[in-house]
Structure 1
Amino acid sequence: MIFRTILLALSGLLLVGCDTQTPAAASLFDAGVRTAVVLTEWPGKVATDADFPVGVRVFNSGTVLIPSLPAVSEKGKRVGVSYHWFGTDNRLVQWDGLVTSLGSDVRPGGDLDVALKVRAPAEPGRYILEVDLLQTGVFWFAGSGSQTARVVVDVSAELP
């Protein structure tokens, strides 16, 4: 019996460290979810309407698991990384950007690197890109007190 308990305990410890994919609850808004988003790589200048990658590191500073799969009983409700575009005067240019799914769950205290696909605005200019997590159809994580990341990007009709 002791051997079985030790084996189960060891199995549990091993599962904590592996990449898992868990379905989301119907809504994570009231579940104590807190995250911080840090950009690890981004271009300073891009072409209009161009798709480009942005390196994102997601930190789970909350007390609950951030699941990577949609709720089983619901269509959608997947947690992903997305963005908004603002002018340098903070006026909203585009609210919803492309959504990139998480590759695996993010446990409390853990982090995850994600390659976010971003589409540049159609008009040339200087913009602020704000990156956040969202649970599709439910909420943006910033609305529950999570930290977003912002960076200035120059969008040009012509790149050299």
Structure 2
Amino acid sequence: MRHVLAALAAIAVLLPGSAALARPAETLVGTYVAAPPGSVAAGMTFVVAVSLTNTGSETWKSTAPGLVNLSYHWYDPSGTPVVWDGVRTPLGADIAPTQQRTVQLTVTAPATPGAYLLRISLVQ
């Protein structure tokens, strides 16, 4: 079985100006803490527990309008996106500023074996 190596910063912050934002950056500012497996089979779907904290000024909505989901991007070692629009996982409930919630993020590894960087992000 061929594997994909995954790396993820333990804490990531969504910065203003991110392409994933559809509204002002203050809406989706937060921190994430996750521990994905070090390697998985190419093309495999797996689940990562992600602890989210809303450090922004607006509630992350779990329903439309303003629906926010948790998603991910895969990058190759040179920083080129390999999978930009990963599976979207619902938050399960609204998350108000300063609130924390753990979400079970569904992730599908790239189909081609290799070393990749997994970046988790909120999308609206």
The reply to whether TM is greater than 0.5 is yes
Cα 1:59–1:28 shift into 2, 3 Å: farther
* Number of positions where the alignment pairs a residue of Structure 1 with one of Structure 2: 104
Is the aligned partner of 1:45 residue 2:34? no
Deviation at 1:81, TM superposition (A): 0.3
Structure 2 unpaired stretches of 5+? 1-20
Q: Which has the higher contact order (CA 8 A, sep 6+)?
A: 2
Which protein is richer in strand relative to its size? Answer: 2
Which aligned runs of 4 or more in structure 1 are off by greater than 4 angstroms? none
Task: State the partner residue of 1:126.
Answer: 115
CA distance in 2 between counterparts of 1:118 and 1:134 reads 15
Task: State the partner residue of 1:93.
Answer: 82
Identity of aligned residues (%): 36
In angstroms, what is the RMSD of aligned CA positions?
A: 1.8
Deviation at 1:37, TM superposition (A): 3.4
Within a 5 Å distance, the mapping from 1:7-156 to structure 2 comes to 29-30=23-24, 32-71=26-65, 78-135=67-124
Structure 1 unpaired stretches of 5+? 1-26, 72-76, 136-160
Which protein is richer in helix relative to its size? Answer: 1
Tell me the TM-score normalised to structure 1 length.
Answer: 0.60
Tell me the TM-score normalised to structure 2 length.
Answer: 0.76
Matched AA of 1:97: G
Q: Which has the larger radius of gyration?
A: 1
Deviation at 1:91, TM superposition (A): 1.1
